[in-house]
Structure formats: structure tokens, C-alpha cells
Chain A
Amino acid sequence: MLKALTSRLTQAVLVMLVVTACAFLMFRYVGDPVRVLSREDATQEEKAELARALGLDRPVLVQYGGFVARVLRGDLGVSFRNQRPVATLLAERLPATLELVFAATVLALSLGIPLGVLCALKPDSVLARAVQALSLVGVSTPTFVTGIVLILVFSVGLGLLPSFGRGQTVDVFGWPTGLLTASGWRSLVLPSVTLALYQLTLIMRLVRSEMIDALSSDYVRYARARGLPERYINFRLALRNALMPVITVTGLQIGSLIAFAIVTETVFQWPGMGLLFIQAVSFADIPVMAAYLLFVGLLFVAINMLVDVIYALVDPRLRASAR
């Protein structure tokens, strides 16, 4: 356990090192901030002045050290595009993305697990077959297509739900939330369904296959041989084993949900970090890109660690060796 945790930590540090180095390299060499920031008709002197102001003339390692130090202080630089601190920009956008991802995860888990169990227990039922077929359509449909179709049907066609923005928000301790207003909820429906659909199919398929594995295992055979009730075997014995990998996968899925949020936010013009990032990519706004990379890297590392800890608490095989 201790060994597993150390190797995890080492890996986390490694990932963060690689990520900061990438972010720095991007920041320093890729964007050519001078060209982006100066006017079309700027003179050489004006450009050199700007480069000095941005600190681009110092040695590389000094710049990297300064970069890391600033990042650790929470100073992620200033956006080339709108001249505001990147940290502020991210902080503004974070609540929107987190609410979207949270809603999608809840949706995906609350539907995915029961459906997966159903497909494993009654593989020949009409419902299970339909769910299976639909799940294949689900993994084959890219998020943006789902979004466009939902907009076409529910916004353009039926005029039922808003197709962009997050509606009215209310500040709760400085966190602007859309979960307290009717328009906020209405705005959340389409984006969160869009984002959840892809994850839903993944979780459903995982639960199904894990459940099938568990049901064909020796210990379930042995439980049957002791005449235990079918319900008890399915929902207490097998389900617990089947849900173990779901912990890991859900954790990792939250990571990719944030990535997929880029697409969803683009389709629905949802004012989250993904939209910020995509706008940064098209404007070569390197500080924002780099900061986003740093943030996502940190988030993934944190989620991975959290998943490991939860797993260790839940799985007796790991828990015991921790003692």
C-alpha cells in the first residue's frame, strides 16, 4: 500500500513536472507573444520594449524558474487577448464548468449503473437488447452531433429549452451558481444531457461486463451452490465486485468529462473553461492555453490520487496491507 502510494506520488510529481515544462515551453516559445500583442505597424523598438516588459530577454532557466514560482503563487500571467489576469479568468469560468460536469456525472451514474446491471442480469430481455443497441449508437455519436440534434429538436423545433448560455446565476459566497434559478436549470438540461450521454454508455457497458464477469466467477457459483437467494447473490455479492472498477473509471471519466466539456461548451456557448480554452487556441492566447493545461493536469493528478485512496479504503485486499 505504502509502496503503491509512493509510486503514485512519484508519478503525480512526474506528470506535473512534464506539464509545467510543456506549459512553460508553450508560453515562452510557441506563442510569440510579441507578435500577437503589438500593433500591425509597430516598430522594432516598440517590439523590443514589449519583449522586455514581458520578460522574454532573460535566460531560459531563469524564465522557467520564474514561471514555476509564479505558478506556485497562483500568478498565471496575463491573457494576451483581453489583458486580464489568467487566474481571474479561470476562476470566473470554473463554476460553470464544474456545475456542468457535476450534473453530467450524476446523470451518467444514476442511469448507467442500473442499466448496466439490467443488461447483465437479463441479457435477452427486449429492454436490455434495446439498451445495448442504443449504447452502440451512443458511443458512435460524437458529443457535438448529439448537441446539435438536441438543439434542433428542443430549441429550434419545439422551442422548449434555451440553446446557449447558462441563464441567470446567483452568487453564493462568491460562487455564481445557476442551480438556484429556473432559467439556470432550464439552461443546464441540454448541455448536461449531451455531456452525460457519452459517459453514460461507457459506464453502462463497463458495469455490464464487470457484472457478467462477477456472475460467472467461482465465488458466485459457490454462493449458488450454497442455495443463497438469487437477489442476494446478484445485488449484494456480485454487484459489489462489479462496482469496484466503476470507482476508478468514474474518476478517470470526470477527467475526460472536463475535456469533453470543451466540445459541449462550444456547441452551447456555455461560459465555462472549455470555451475559454477554445477561444484561446484560435487566438493563440498562450498564457490561457498554458494555464488551462496546468489546471487540467493538476485536476487529473488530484482525481487519480483520490481514486486510489477511495479504492484502497473500499478494497479489503489493499486496506489490509495498509495496516
Chain B
Amino acid sequence: MIGGLRKAPLSVLIAAGLAVTIVLVALAAPLVAPTNPLDLASFNLIDAELPPAWVEGGDPRFLLGSDNQGRDMLSAIIYGARVSILIGGGAVLVAASLGVALGLVAGFVGGRLDALIMRIGDVILSFPTILLALMVAGVARAVIPDASGPKLAPFILIGAIATHEWVQYARTVRAATMVEAQKDYVKAVRVIGLPTRRIMFGHILPNVMSPVLVIATINLAAAVLTEATLSFLGVGMPPTYPSLGTLIRIGNEFVFSGIWWIALFPALALVILVLAVNVVGDWVRDRFNPKLRGRKA
């Protein structure tokens, strides 16, 4: 997949470079960011609501301006992106592992197990991601004390997003597994008498993985968006440990007073990150599976 990038159009190369850069910068936040926005001692109310450096009244110390508490927006965005990417990536990882395992079993073993897994999936897919995630996050907050705190919130968000997304992997893998299981190379190893587990994991799994990688790429963008939406609605990351969505939520309160940068820059960062991943994801999808084109659930 990486090797194929050599033949990619320029826009995809730029997007891939951008996505990798954003992810690297975000993950290395403590090394890269000018200040630590999580450290209450590092900022001062005197610096509050300063516009970006190039606007009249801006301060060169705050390239993208500061928020209502005097935090540097650039640092807040870099730290926020780290939170968003970790939660999005975590959700994809959880959803993909669960979905692949269940899909493989459902597709190869079939019967009642298959019916059970797929019916659960059907019910889940009856609801849009965002609604289900809201429900899960909302219920979790009501049941678990401190669920909205910075320690538990990321895991609840990962769980809330993955609850919906695994179905997509499971369905794809199940369908691919059923196709592969009918192919003659699988029949050949069955005739030889290889054990079921070895056929499933040694022979079928490698052949159903490419659509999974395609879905995972596109899903990463979707998961980051869902997390941002939840945080924006106030059921995601708390303001003490903000993701990009939380930052936009905070900024939204200042939009009407003309202080646009607190909302707009995190929003821009979010859109650029998601767009970059989507451009790459789209190209990967068209290249590796033309039939998947446009069939986004």
C-alpha cells in the first residue's frame, strides 16, 4: 500500500505528507508546542483574548492568538489534536479488531453464531453513529462517577465510537470471508485436511485484510469527526483536557462577540486533518477496491 504511493497524484502525496506531519507534530506535542496549555501556571489572564499575531493588537508570542484564559491557541491546538488523534485511532483499532474477528467467525462458521452477530449489527446500524455514541456516552456519564473527567473520558469516547463502527468491519470481513471460503484455494486446503483455525487465520485472513485497511483509513477520519462532534456537544473531553472539538465548543461562545480565532483555528486544524486523511483514504479506496466507491455507510 505504501509502495503504491509512488504512482499517486500530487494532491494525494501532499495530503499524505500533511496527514503524517500533523500526526507527528500532535504526538510530539510536549516537544513541539511553544507552551504547555495543560499547565495552569504557564498562562496568565492578562494575555486573554489576544488576536492572532498578524492582526492589529496581536502579540508575537501568540501566533494564533490566545483564548479567554490567556492560553496560547497554537499550543492548545497541537495538544488538542493529539487528544483527537489518539481517541480516533484508538476507536479505529478497537472497532477493527473486534469487527475483523467477529466477521471472520461469522463468515466462516456461519449458522446461528453468524445470525446472532449480524442481527446485533443490524440493530446497531439502525442508528446513526452520532446518536448511538451520544447515548453510550450519555449513559456512561450517568452510571460511572467521574466519567466526564480527563482520565475516563477518552476510553468512554473510544467505546462510544467503536460500539457503532465495528459493524462495518464485521460486515465487510464476513462478506469477503464468504467469498474467499468458496474459492478453490480454500477448498484445496480443506481437501488436504488442515484444521479450521489454520484455514481461517493462515489462509483466509490475509486475503480479507485489504478492504479492512481501506475502511480503517476512511474510518479514522470519521472517528475523529465523531469525537469532535461529541466534544462540541459537551459529552466528550472536558475543558481541562480539551480535544479539538472541546476547543471549538469553548470558542463557539465567543463567536458573537467577534472573537473568531478561538473557534476558527481549532476548526481549521480539524478540517485540514480530516480532509488530508480523507483524500488519502479516497485514493486508497478507488485504487484497491473500485467496487467500494461511494458506498460509505
Given contacts A151-B255, A209-B293, A278-B233, contact A140 B275 (CB under 8 A): yes
Q: Which 3 A-B pairs have the closest CB atoms?
A: A209-B294, A256-B128, A140-B275
Q: A142-B228, A142-B274, A278-B234 are in contact. List 11 more A-B contacts (CB 8 A).
A: A14-B122, A136-B282, A140-B221, A145-B271, A151-B255, A156-B258, A208-B294, A260-B128, A296-B131, A301-B126, A304-B126
Chain A residues whose C-beta falls within 8 Å of the C-beta of B142 in the assembled complex: 30-32, 284, 286
B260 at the interface (CB under 8 A from A): yes
B232 at the interface (CB under 8 A from A): yes
| Contact segment of A40-48, A57-65, A168-176, A262-270 | A262-270
A136, A163, A205, A262: which contacts B279 (Cβ < 8 A)? A136
Within 8 A of B (CB), among A250-286: 255-256, 259-260, 262-263, 266-267, 277-278, 281-282, 284, 286
A133 to chain B, nearest CB (A): 8
A31, A32, A151, A281: which contacts B134 (Cβ < 8 A)? A281
A281 and B126 contact, CB distance less than 8 A = no
B119, B127, B233, B263: which contacts A263 (Cβ < 8 A)? B233
A20 to chain B, nearest CB (A): 12
Chain B 222-254 against A: per-residue CB contact (8 Å), 1 yes, 0 no?
A: 000100110011110000000000001000100
A289 at the interface (CB under 8 A from B): yes
Chain A 133-152 against B: per-residue CB contact (8 Å), 1 yes, 0 no?
A: 00011011111110011011
| Residues of chain A at the chain B interface (Cβ within 8 Å) | 11, 14-15, 18, 22, 26, 29-32, 136-137, 139-145, 148-149, 151-152, 156, 163, 202, 205-206, 208-210, 212, 255-256, 259-260, 262-263, 266-267, 277-278, 281-282, 284, 286, 289, 293, 296-297, 300-301, 304
Given contacts A14-B123, A148-B267, A152-B260, contact A140 B130 (CB under 8 A): no
| Residues of chain B at the chain A interface (Cβ within 8 Å) | 119, 122-123, 126-128, 130-131, 134-135, 138-139, 141-143, 221, 225, 228-229, 232-235, 248, 252, 255-256, 258, 260, 263-264, 267, 270-271, 274-275, 278-279, 282, 293-296
